Structure 1
Amino acid sequence: MKWIYGKQDFKTIERSEENCYLMTNELGGFSSLTMAGGAARNDHAFLMGCLKAPNCRYNIIHRLKEQLDDLVLSTQEFADGTKEEGYRFLTSFSYEDNPVWIFQADGVEIRKEAALDPEKNAAVLKYEIENRRRESCIFQVKPFFQFAPKGEDMEEGQKILLDGNRIRCRDMCLDVRTNGDFCSVPMEKETYFYRYDACDGRRPTGTAAAVHTVAAKILPGEEKTLEIVYALEGEEPPALERPDEVIARVRSFRDRWQERGSWKSEIAKALARSASAFVTRRESTGGKTILAGYPFFEDWGRDTMIALPGICLSTGQYETAKSILRTFAVNERKGLMPNLFPEGGKEPMYNTVDAALLFINCVYLYYEKTKDKAFIEEMYPVMERIITAYREGTDYGIAMDADGLIRAGKELDQVTWMDVRIGKILPTPRHGKPVEINAYWYNALKIMDFFAGVLGHPKEQYQEMAEKVKLSFREKFWMEEKHCLKDVLSGEAADTQIRCNQIWAVSLPFTMMDKEKEKQVVETVFEKLYTPYGLRTLEKEDPDFHPFYGGEMMERDLAYHQGTVWPFPMGAYYLAYLKVNSWSEKARGRVKRQMEALECAMREGCIGQLPEIYDGENPASSKGCFAQAWSVGEILWVYENLEK
């Protein structure tokens, strides 16, 4: 799907900064700037290199200043209130697999195309310049560098040195290849204003420095192509004629992600291509992993297990799925999976109750796709340890109670996905027996019953536990007066809040309630929580509901799970709706129609992606991470199930 934007989409500098593109390189590195080419966040970069996959990221080339004679074609806001307003000369911006800009100014048309090598820390630029003037013109590119860790600013006194066609800083070297006129300049620093950081209380300004320019002179009536290639030393820098090859390789790489699925929907095809952005290598394990979201997040266990079915299985990346699951299996401890992976000598964090149960679900969904019995035999001991640890008790207050249900969380440990903690404040305390955790628990027990049958192992213990869980769940979670499920069993008033977590008790492969009650849950969720772009985390009528997500971090955190709309639970909603309506043609048609709204969501924010969150009251603008793995993965999983 090709996304095209015209002048009406960037009438002002503010409009020009509303949307951005994203390219990634399978290492954790990426390229992302606004559709006008500016940096509106400190995490925006033309080249965000990754020195050790996937988390050791450096903002290498922050932005590009582009100029035609005296006309500045680039767009950027500065800390002193001044602006570059090149968006006025931008006639169109398009994105399919890589971004393309077209500028027109005083008889000169410039087509700019950029790409990030899908396997290296290398970025390419290609400018096709047509001069229809009666005199010559000079086009110039001046890159501004940071060589700063992602999210940080340049250090005071930091030097960036030019050594021939090599830029040196902080023990890093960036090679430059170009067919243009390469010229060194005295180090020139700029200080930027980051609109999308300032509104959220993040660092509102940052600096970058230039040490060279690349220029081309274009004669009257001449057409000329200017090519520039940047590659971190240690990578073989692409040869001068390779920009087109890099662009072709990017398209071929994304083609493979789309072609392994049999997609009918254009939205699904686009999401399948976008899914490729989240899978990266992990140098420390030699395997693959899934980054939770751009630009902020790294790889987390819970997010990985929720995203994996859509990101990997729906796109036919079965070996990638195995690699990821094996990595987590090796790092299982006390029946728990890492919530945050070890890197740089740090110990992993295991503060999640759901990742291990969702791991079992992923193994099951993988088997359903591949019938890979050998892999099930390999994973079976790990899954046994998970069940044993949850039954007997493990860290973070996670244990099976006498009624067969799982309790989790204690003191300040937040171990469900609603995990915000502000000092000693828990905005959504869910200590006790959370509804989705017990749905995952039952699902895991039924899967173990199934796998034991496949492998010829004893299965009675799993059957007995599952039956006990079902009886307790039905008795203790159902609220007849609200036609839905409690959110948690803790004895607190918040137990009866209407939240989206109950939808997983209907959507999972194995569930506990009768069809009529499942249908009531789906209808209550639709009435109280559904929006076209996701489910609210709390109903609007609740006194704890926060309609807006924004401001300083504490204000954002207080709203994060208190009404804020999340796209990823909508995947479970659609599957649950289809299930309780017996996958009828009418139900399928309704879901297809409702999901058409996602095309609009994919035009806003990060082009071709789905974001982390929206406001709870009016989900009109994406917030949080502009590209979120589990948002993309869950919707892809729905499309696969809808279309097969």
Structure 2
Amino acid sequence: MKWFRYWKRFEHVKETNMQKSINDIMNHEYLMTNGLGGYSFGTLDQVNCRKYHGLYTVSYNPPIERMHLISKIAEAVVIEGATYPVTFENATDGSVPLNDATETHLKSYRHEGIIEQVFELSEIGVIIKRTLAMAYGTNHLAVRYQMETTRPVELVMTPLFNFRDHHDVVSVNLEDYHVRYDDPLQYLHVASKGKEVYLKWESATGLTPNYKPNHTVSAFSYYPIETQRGYPDIERHADLGAFHFSIDKGLSEVDLLINLSPTFESASSVFRGRQDRYEALIAKAGAKYAPYSFKRLIQAADDFIVYRKTTGKMTIIAGYPWFSDWGRDTMISIPGLTLETGRHEEALQMIEGFLSMAYMGIIPNNFPDEGEAPMYNTSDATLWLFNALYMYYEQTKDLKSIERLYPKLMEIINHHIQGTINEIYMDVDGLLSSGNEETQLTWMDVKVGGWVVTPRHGKAVEINALWYNAVAVMNEFSKRLNIPPEALERDFEILMKQIKQSFNDVFWNEKEHNLYDLIIDGKAVDIPRPNMIFAVSLPFAVLDERRWLPVVEYVMRNFKVPYGLLTLRREDEAFHERYEGDLLSRDGAYHRGTAWGWLIGPYLEAHYKTFGDTSYIRSSIDALMVHLDEGVHGSIAEIFEGGAPHAWRGCSAQAWSVAEAIRLYKMTF
């Protein structure tokens, strides 16, 4: 078995157990993206367990309006009339218990630029190596099958189509699907609902497909993850025919090429392009000799950085599979995903792109996936932009860009001082107030119908830490640009002193030696949350330095878990140990106990500023790296349950979680 022996020599191969439960299978996913919002996403075992799993999902208005087009290729080996599936589907009604052991054929998995999997059907002496990649910046996808068999077999490939919004679950109507097969050119054209896709076969070993048309619906596909999330969980796909390859014993190879038009890039070209990109990203990040876990994070970072058509600039997808690009998430993620990976030009593009769409001094919070107008329901995204731009300047010393953007930044500061949308305004004490009982403007932003789950209107602790930081950044930029104090519209140093004095007077809880999370109508809300950590962690810390130690220690005792920070103390009566159930149940737990991965960054930054202990940061990073082998392999999830063992939940790949891990790596290694 030549290919299998070669595969076994690879480093960093994930060996898998051939007996697995559905729970095991759906906890291990792969993600391949194309820089446009499109993706190929599934379990390592090629068993679709959620509606977002699919071989080929593309964006028609990058990076949004994403359409799931091909669910999977059902591969099977036929010997002497007997069929042996390479992968399988779940029971149609979910009747197989999720913890029952199931035989799978995945032997090994690796993702370094391209995805490589080995499936072993030991009972019939067949090994299949499957290589997959999406071309960066286009909608080309290539899958290569390399097969070794001890006797003649037939390899059968059945594409399953379902042209739908990637958020939906739809059982197909066959009347909507139109098929044409070009036998000389060996490509299949499928059209439905104004969309189309092309599939083409090529073979370096002379294999030619025998296309056997069909026009039926597939068996039901059951998605247990959607059951858990309270969404529709069963659908059927269009089976429009299968491709049969007659294979003699020995080695054989066949490539499947997929695109939105009948122009195809060879599989070798797609694979070479992705491998070259992987190596270039590692080199740009200065990570050639870095630990393998850090290289995996560099690769994961690239998944989130995508092109936005409406601005003509790069942006950041907040999380896969369901988020689009968010202003808050983008600004928080810029330092880790771009600056610490050597991608400074893209960082500036992102900042400029969001600045260009600012309204009344507020950048967009969210671009809906349906292509609607941006939403501006945020009090912190714009303040995070100042932080990202300051970090950009610190690394590049690009004063020309700062000078060009300075008037826009000044306009934003003035809007905040004078008052702007969302009831955001600077109060007489210099602190920012925002929103009302019906709004959700901070990062703890869940609102279900009329229920604001985590009310944080008024003066929120991290908003005012960010406000002080933004004013301090403007003060620094003014100095670097040599703007004389008398020429400034604002005396930033006086404003900074006012904000800092008021903050320390108002937010400090002398009894508990921590910070109040919120001030509403002059009254402190005594519900401790991890947001106090930002008063220490930001480049310009608003909290008096003598108070850093008790705040950091309080956060460590009450909120720190291996993968992030809890959003409530365990003893709080509203604390939720589990993040489970339908949307209402999950939203009730989202910021009420659930731990967030990205908060590990500001926490460890504050810890380092306070104690100067790099060994603690490194041990914390090592603990976090265990998570790289669950969920989307090589990435970091959005959230983790508040109760042990802190299982990952939410998006299985989240931009700011990965960004903060990268930033911490570069801080200490």
TM-score using structure 2 length: 0.91
Moved more, 2-11 or 186-195: 2-11
**Counterpart among 277, 283, 305 of residue 253 in structure 1:** 277
Residues of 1 paired with 2:646 and 2:144: CA distance?
Answer: 35
CA contact (8 A) 1:353 1:415 kept: yes
Residues of 1 paired with 2:106 and 2:285: CA distance?
Answer: 36
- Equivalences for residues 13-28 of structure 1 within 5 A: 13-28=22-37
Residue 50 of structure 1: how far off its partner (Å): 1.4
CA contact (8 A) 1:332 1:382 kept: no
Residue 87 of structure 1: how far off its partner (Å): 4.9
The corresponding residue for 1:509 is 539
SS in 2 for 1:166: strand
Residue 231 of structure 1: how far off its partner (Å): 0.8
Residues of 2 paired with 1:543 and 1:475: CA distance?
Answer: 28
The corresponding residue for 1:162 is 179
* 1:101 matches 2:128: no
Residue 513 of structure 1: how far off its partner (Å): 2.3
The corresponding residue for 1:407 is 433
Residues of 2 paired with 1:80 and 1:342: CA distance?
Answer: 33
**Counterpart among 71, 83, 104 of residue 88 in structure 1:** 104
CA deviations on 1:475-519 (whole Å, 9 max, x unpaired) are: 111112222111011169982212111111111110122333111
SS in 2 for 1:199: helix
* 1:312 matches 2:338: yes
CA deviations on 1:441-473 (whole Å, 9 max, x unpaired) are: 000111111111111223561111110000011
CA contact (8 A) 1:72 1:85 kept: no
- Equivalences for residues 407-426 of structure 1 within 5 A: 407-426=433-452
- Equivalences for residues 107-186 of structure 1 within 5 A: 107-133=125-151, 136-154=152-170, 156-164=173-181, 165-179=188-202, 180-186=208-214
CA deviations on 1:346-381 (whole Å, 9 max, x unpaired) are: 322111000111111111111111111111011111
Residues of 2 paired with 1:446 and 1:181: CA distance?
Answer: 66
The corresponding residue for 2:590 is 560
Q: Measured at CA, do residues 278 and 7 of structure 1 come closer, stay the same or move farther in structure 2, by a change above 3 Å? A: closer
The corresponding residue for 1:338 is 364
CA contact (8 A) 1:604 1:621 kept: no
**Counterpart among 452, 459, 462 of residue 436 in structure 1:** 462
Amino acid in structure 2 at the alignment position of 1:185: P
Residues of 2 paired with 1:403 and 1:4: CA distance?
Answer: 58
Residues of 1 paired with 2:366 and 2:11: CA distance?
Answer: 35
CA deviations on 1:38-90 (whole Å, 9 max, x unpaired) are: 21111111011112211011101112211011111112214245789985332
The corresponding residue for 2:217 is 189
* 1:485 matches 2:511: no
* 1:217 matches 2:246: yes
Identity of aligned residues (%): 32
SS in 2 for 1:609: coil
- Equivalences for residues 364-513 of structure 1 within 5 A: 364-457=390-483, 458=485, 461-490=491-520, 495-513=525-543
Question: Which ranges of structure 2 fall in alignment gaps of 5 or more residues?
Answer: 1-9, 182-187, 203-207
* 1:46 matches 2:65: no
SS in 2 for 1:637: helix
Number of residue pairs the alignment of both structures matches? 632
**Counterpart among 58, 67, 70 of residue 58 in structure 1:** 67
Amino acid in structure 2 at the alignment position of 1:337: I
Amino acid in structure 2 at the alignment position of 1:146: N
The corresponding residue for 2:3 is none
Residues of 1 paired with 2:223 and 2:369: CA distance?
Answer: 29
Residue 616 of structure 1: how far off its partner (Å): 0.6
The corresponding residue for 1:522 is 552
Amino acid in structure 2 at the alignment position of 1:33: G
Residues of 1 paired with 2:271 and 2:404: CA distance?
Answer: 40
Q: Measured at CA, do residues 617 and 300 of structure 1 come closer, stay the same or move farther in structure 2, by a change above 3 Å? A: same
Moved more, 150-159 or 434-443: 150-159
Residue 92 of structure 1: how far off its partner (Å): 2.3
Residue 195 of structure 1: how far off its partner (Å): 0.9
* 1:599 matches 2:625: yes
Residue 225 of structure 1: how far off its partner (Å): 0.5
Residue 115 of structure 1: how far off its partner (Å): 1.2
CA deviations on 1:169-214 (whole Å, 9 max, x unpaired) are: 2222212211341414222323211111110112211221121222
Q: Measured at CA, do residues 366 and 213 of structure 1 come closer, stay the same or move farther in structure 2, by a change above 3 Å? A: same
Residues of 1 paired with 2:463 and 2:180: CA distance?
Answer: 57
CA deviations on 1:270-304 (whole Å, 9 max, x unpaired) are: 21111000011111221111110000100011111
Residues of 2 paired with 1:182 and 1:51: CA distance?
Answer: 32
Residues of 2 paired with 1:588 and 1:193: CA distance?
Answer: 47
CA contact (8 A) 1:23 1:115 kept: yes
Residues of 1 paired with 2:667 and 2:346: CA distance?
Answer: 20
CA contact (8 A) 1:42 1:194 kept: yes
**Counterpart among 634, 646, 667 of residue 608 in structure 1:** 634
Residues of 2 paired with 1:294 and 1:130: CA distance?
Answer: 35
CA contact (8 A) 1:3 1:96 kept: no
Moved more, 170-179 or 466-475: 170-179
The corresponding residue for 1:237 is 264
Q: Measured at CA, do residues 473 and 65 of structure 1 come closer, stay the same or move farther in structure 2, by a change above 3 Å? A: same
Residues of 2 paired with 1:545 and 1:427: CA distance?
Answer: 12
CA contact (8 A) 2:174 2:216 kept: no
Residues of 1 paired with 2:415 and 2:320: CA distance?
Answer: 34
Residues of 1 paired with 2:575 and 2:372: CA distance?
Answer: 37
Amino acid in structure 1 at the alignment position of 2:387: N
CA contact (8 A) 1:13 1:87 kept: no
CA contact (8 A) 2:361 2:412 kept: yes
Residue 156 of structure 1: how far off its partner (Å): 4.0
SS in 1 for 2:104: helix
CA contact (8 A) 1:3 1:607 kept: no
Tell me the C-alpha RMSD between the 2 structures: 2.0
- Equivalences for residues 282-321 of structure 1 within 5 A: 282-321=308-347
CA contact (8 A) 2:437 2:455 kept: no
SS in 2 for 1:396: helix
SS in 1 for 2:13: strand
SS in 1 for 2:416: helix
Q: Measured at CA, do residues 481 and 182 of structure 1 come closer, stay the same or move farther in structure 2, by a change above 3 Å? A: farther
Q: Measured at CA, do residues 39 and 323 of structure 1 come closer, stay the same or move farther in structure 2, by a change above 3 Å? A: same
